[in-house]
C-alpha cells in the first residue's frame, strides 16, 4: 500500500522531547472550537492565548518549541535542534540530501520568506508571538532547487 500524501506524522514537543499524543493535539495547539465567538451560531476557534511557543511544520510533523519574537533566528534553530527536530530525517537510503546534521542545516520560513540571517531577531521578520504557521526545512533541500524525488510534483 502506498503512503498517503495527506497523512501527518503527529506532533512533537521540543521542550519535553516527547511526542504530543494525537488526542491532546487540539488542546495543546489551542484548536478547540467554542461558543465564545460564534459565527452565525457555529462554534469557532477563539484567539490563541499561548504567546510563548511557536510551531514549525517539518517533514509532516508539527514541532512546538518555546520561542519569542525577540529571540534570534539562530537561538530558535538551536532550540528546535535541542528539542529533537532531527528526528524528521528520512533514513539515509531514502533521502536525496544529507539530512539535518546540525542546527545550521535548518532553514526557517515565515510568510513565504526564508529567515536567512541567523543574527536577526524573529521580530525583524515580523513573526508574531505564539506564531503557529512557520516552516522548518533542511537548507540543502532549498538550495537544490528541485523537489524531493517522492514529491507530488513528479506525478
pLDDT tens digit string along 118-137? 999 999 999 999 999 999 99
Q: How confident is the model at residue 5 (pLDDT cuts 50, 70, 90)?
A: very low
Residues 6+ apart with CB under 8 A from 19: 10, 11, 12, 13
76 pLDDT exceeds 60?
yes
Show the cell assigned to 24. 491532546
11-154: CATH architecture = Roll (3.10)
From residue 114, alpha-carbon distances to 73, 118, 146 in Å are 11, 11, 16
Q: Considering the entire predicted model, what is its pTM?
A: 0.86
Amino acid at each position: 500500500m502506498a503512503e498517503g500524501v495527506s497523512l501527518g506524522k503527529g506532533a512533537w514537543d521540543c521542550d519535553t522531547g516527547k511526542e504530543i499524543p494525537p488526542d491532546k493535539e487540539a488542546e495543546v495547539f489551542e484548536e478547540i472550537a467554542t461558543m465564545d465567538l460564534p459565527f452565525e451560531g457555529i462554534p469557532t476557534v477563539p484567539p490563541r492565548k499561548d504567546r510563548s511557543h511557536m510551531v514549525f511544520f517539518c517533514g509532516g510533523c508539527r514541532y512546538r518549541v518555546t520561542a519569542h519574537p525577540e529571540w534570534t533566528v539562530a537561538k530558535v534553530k538551536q532550540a528546535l535542534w535541542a528539542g529533537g527536530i532531527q528526528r524528521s530525517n528520512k533514513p539515509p537510503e531514502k533521502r536525496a540530501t544529507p539530512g539535518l546534521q546540525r542546527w545550521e542545516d535548518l532553514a526557517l520560513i515565515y510568510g513565504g520568506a526564508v529567515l536567512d540571517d541567523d543574527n536577526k531577531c524573529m521580530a525583524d521578520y515580523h513573526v508574531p508571538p505564539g506564531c503557529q504557521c512557520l516552516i522548518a526545512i533542511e537548507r540543502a533541500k532549498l538550495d537544490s532547487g528541485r523537489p524531493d524525488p517522492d514529491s507530488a510534483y513528479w506525478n
